[in-house]
Structure 1
């Protein structure tokens, strides 16, 4: 069996209580522990900060739907060649969008995916932040404003793209493996 990380993976029961409780709650809800929790728990203080920021970006209500937030993750993670995040967040996207095809479409080529023009503009900007943030300028904001995004939504798009650039790099550094459970999730329409 291939290890889930090239770094040591702690036993959940040996983790500080707050992390152990958080991870076991995820296991209770999903039926398994996503490998990202185990791999990043190698450094508990960093894992806490990572998951707190993840939740602040991905679990809040706001101008982007939770499915749109996952679209950003899948598109930028594909561009960053992050197998873990494409597979794991692809599963979440399929579930949140209630569409078994959307994650594969977004991961391969969002321009040809079954998305609105607004969502395609969102992903174009997210990819620019992910690949060449130094080139972001007023014209990018104007293009997003034309699609109805306000500055708070633009912040969210950029922050998600930037955070997952970090996540993608850590997943690749650690050689993090996606859980097998993710591959089938959300594939059958409900």
Structure 2
């Protein structure tokens, strides 16, 4: 009689040490537990970046300043910028995690996959395409940004402050993409299915 198969260990979420939740400073543990209560799980990025608590605090502060502020971009449009530029930067974690958030915000199951592959073929408005054209230029060729790029945004109703937001989100997630790849950060399995099928009532 053969021995029962031993379950394979769960894959590591980062190649760097990941602290246990009880070992974190109180402020970070409380923030993570609040996210867990809302989402039903802890996104791996919080635990992986907690390897360096001061850097996680700085990361969260800038994240919140960009994504929770009022402005000319909707929450969904901010996620569009993240998903499209993270696709260019080949960041699996951010494409999967923020793709899930985008699907939830926009209620469009196909959109995240389209944007992560080629925003010019995606089912988006001309305004959103102009936004992502600008984001892509910041992502790939920021040294070539010129006044005509701002004029193209203005033609679709964006202000210079909106342009700052588009560029800052792109730049911040350029950092996030590179850190995620450095860490070999694994997306939570839960993200893959979020927003793909309607919730059962």
**What is the TM-score with the length of structure 2 in the denominator?**
0.93
Is 1:54 aligned with 2:63? yes
Give 1:178's aligned residue: 187
Distance 2:68 2:190 in 1: 21
CA deviation vs aligned residue, 1:88-132 (integer Å, no higher than 9, x gap): 000000000011111111111111111001101100110111111
> 1 or 2, which has the higher helix percentage?
1
SS at 1:4's partner residue? coil
Give 1:127's aligned residue: 136
Map residues 149-168 of structure 1 onto 2, 5 A cutoff: 149-168=158-177
Say which of 30, 33, 36 aligns to 1:24: 33
Please report how far the alpha carbon of residue 61 of structure 1 lies from its aligned counterpart in structure 2 after TM superposition: 2.1
Q: Structure 1: 5+ residue runs without aligned partners?
A: none
Q: Structure 2: 5+ residue runs without aligned partners?
A: 1-9
Structure 1 consecutive aligned stretches of length 4 or more whose deviation exceeds 4 Å: none
Distance 1:175 1:124 in 2: 28
Map residues 35-114 of structure 1 onto 2, 5 A cutoff: 35-114=44-123
Distance 2:71 2:105 in 1: 15
- Count how many residue pairs are aligned between Structure 1 and Structure 2: 190
CA deviation vs aligned residue, 1:24-81 (integer Å, no higher than 9, x gap): 1000100100000000000000000101111111122210000000000000000000
Distance 1:21 1:130 in 2: 33
Distance 2:14 2:152 in 1: 40
The two structures, once aligned, show a CA RMSD in angstroms of 0.8
Distance 1:164 1:38 in 2: 18
Please report how far the alpha carbon of residue 189 of structure 1 lies from its aligned counterpart in structure 2 after TM superposition: 3.2
